[in-house]
Structure 1
Amino acid sequence: MSYSTQGRSPQEVYQNTQPHQPRPPVQFFNNGVLGIRLVDAIAGHVSGLHEAGTLAPLTGANRITCRINWPGYESWSDGLHVVDHNTQPYTLARLAQVIAKTIQKFCGDNAQVRTREPRADWAVNSIPFESLYLLEIRHVSSGSWQPVISRVL
């Protein structure tokens, strides 16, 4: 199977009215290709994840807000802890896992919600979760990050 950036979710980027200094996106390269399958991240199958054991570059954050603007659905967010029980920042692998679980929660919360999107190809209940990939997370406001999601085409 392969996917491409053409299969990216056409999410609107979250807009915040407060000024912030955006950080570079956190990208997830798996076996040399941008993107990790969500089900693999959730299961901890990250042997091919580049720099999986390095600390996630979320400088000083103990908690972040994950924002999803999936086309056809209400804007959705969830607060996430991004430090372990020893107050050490999560590794890139653990961050991928937590973000993937959050996307799974979003999909579950919206599985029975009728999409307002005229293009049904991004309706949550019509896309197998197994076909979704996490490419990166973007810093969209102070303390808020938005996942960039793709799917197998």
Structure 2
Amino acid sequence: MQSLVPHTFQPSHPTGVDILRDGFLAHMFGVFTELFFQSLLKTSIRSLPVQFPLQGWPSAFALSQGAVTTLQANVVDAYQYPYLLLDLLVNTAIGPVVPQTLWVPRSSRDLAQYVLEATLELPIFFVRNDGGIGITVADASAGNSASLLGSTRAVNVGGRTSVHLRIQWPGYKEWRRQFQTRDETAARSVITLDRFIRHVGRSLDRFLEAMSSEIPDGFPQWRIGPNAIGRHDITIVGVAHVSSGSWMPILQLNHPLVV
């Protein structure tokens, strides 16, 4: 758990900011954002005292430690108080967040077992040491993640030995890739964040390659391929835990969407 900037830093931010409208997850999941937080927090997010911002985390939406008893703090503010980081404020001037439908298991039994009754982990955001948010697909795939906070720490994926990364890109069929989250040592330790990010980056590369020859079903502005969206256009902001063994990448274009 780390703070981004000295506590003397006083960020400026817009008034009336709302996690259900202005965060990355709101831009990603749209009308399903509240359902995502309900599954994560096991209560309505509207009933909780979400704070914005934190000292040291000028774009953070967070809850104080203890606000939700099933989850542990994953950041500390500039005064070393622990918080649950829920989301970050989107800077839409950079580019749009890729909208994705929230993935959930199809059967009601699996939905109950792997989402509603399961313990989901807090989103993992890829935050740089300088306070910037995200990493390019190219850097993630190549393992160039040393500039990220906590890159050498074990990643919390809920105790799973493997996970599925699921992508619901507009206009394309659902796509997934499974990868291991334990290392090759005798202890089979949980992999570090930098290795996890490399898996995410390589998964994105495989997805983009597979979809580059596909014709999208609508949403032409989100077309993938030559003379359209490619790996150099995308920033990986983080990942969201959507079911016991499944995560979804939070993605943002690094330029305005060409309509």
Taking structure 1 as the reference length, what is the TM-score of the superposition?
A: 0.91
Q: Is the aligned partner of 1:144 residue 2:246?
A: yes
Return the alpha-carbon distance in structure 2 between the equivalents of residues 46 and 65 of structure 1.
21
Of 45, 49, 69, 2:168 maps to 69
Tell me the alpha carbon deviations over residues 82-126 of structure 1, each in whole angstroms, 9 at most, x when there is no partner: 1110111111111111011001101111110001123x2211111
Q: Which of structure 1's runs of 4+ aligned residues deviate more than 2 A?
A: 3-6, 19-22
1:43: Cα distance to partner? 1.4
Matched residue, 2:208: 107
1:76 maps to a residue whose letter is W
Change (3 A) 1:22 1:59: closer
Q: Which has the larger radius of gyration?
A: 2
Structure 2: runs of 5 or more not aligned: 1-89
Q: Is the aligned partner of 1:89 residue 2:190?
A: yes
Return the alpha-carbon distance in structure 1 between the equivalents of residues 230 and 91 of structure 2.
16
The structure whose residues are more often strand, as a share, is 1
Provide the secondary structure at the position in 2 that maps to 1:61: coil
> Larger relative contact order (C-alpha < 8 A, sep ≥ 6)?
1
1:29: Cα distance to partner? 0.6
Matched residue, 1:11: 100
Structure 1: runs of 5 or more not aligned: none
Aligned-residue identity in percent: 24
1:109 maps to a residue whose letter is A
Matched residue, 1:35: 134
Matched residue, 2:22: none
Taking structure 2 as the reference length, what is the TM-score of the superposition?
A: 0.55
